[in-house]
Amino acid sequence: MNIALIASVFLGIVLLIMTVLFLFRIVLTWYPQIDLRQFPYNIAYIPTEPFLAPTRKIVPPLGGIDISPVIWLGIVTLLREILLGQQGIITLALRQYYQL
């Protein structure tokens, strides 16, 4: 198996997990009374907070609503499309390699 194919699958899984976690964080912004550091919410809090905290310093909450998860959901989705979409860089490279 080609290392690019393995990297493509791994990257796809990581980006999918991050997408789901950011979607979960978007839903959690609707419930500000929830303590994100408690189980099961910390499953989404721990991996996403390193991305969201610096973003909040640049883009503060608008009207009391934290939009940083929406920004990162867009970034992760864009990265996935650019790298792994039908015309993505890695996808095209793999097609060229395997002559599909």
pLDDT in tens, 10-43: 999 999 999 999 999 999 988 888 898 899 999 9
Entry pTM: 0.86
Calpha distance 55→52 (Å, rounded):
5
Q: Under a CB-based contact definition with an 8 Å cutoff, are residues 29 and 6 in contact?
A: no
Overall average pLDDT of the 44-72 stretch:
92
